[in-house]
Amino acid sequence: MKLFQVADRYCKESSWKTLALLKICLFSIGVMVGMLVPKEKKKAAFGIGTVAFLSTYFPLMGKFFRTWQQENRRTQYE
């Protein structure tokens, strides 16, 4: 799909600063949406958010640390 190809290229051409701004933007939207959740549904929304966070955080950090290890190995051999 063309949208995903453009998104991949955007990420490859972006610095960590641009991606950090993107994350702040998405976080802000999440906070605003969270404020709109009715009081009686907040626990369910929190649970869904927790599951989504944990199921994405660990794979992302795993990839980050693998990349870091590869970079360390690369610089050791240079």
CA dist 68 to 18, 42, 44, 61, 72, Å? Answer: 20, 37, 36, 10, 6
Q: Please report which confidence band the pLDDT of residue 7 belongs to, taking 50, 70 and 90 as the band edges.
A: very high
Q: What is the pLDDT of residues 27-36, one digit of tens each?
A: 999 999 999 9
- What's residue 1's pLDDT? 79
Residue with tokens 């051409």: 13
Q: Please report which confidence band the pLDDT of residue 22 belongs to, taking 50, 70 and 90 as the band edges.
A: very high
Distance CA 45, CA 42 (A): 5
Q: What is the pLDDT of residues 31-78, one digit of tens each?
A: 999 999 999 999 999 999 999 999 999 999 999 999 999 988 888 876
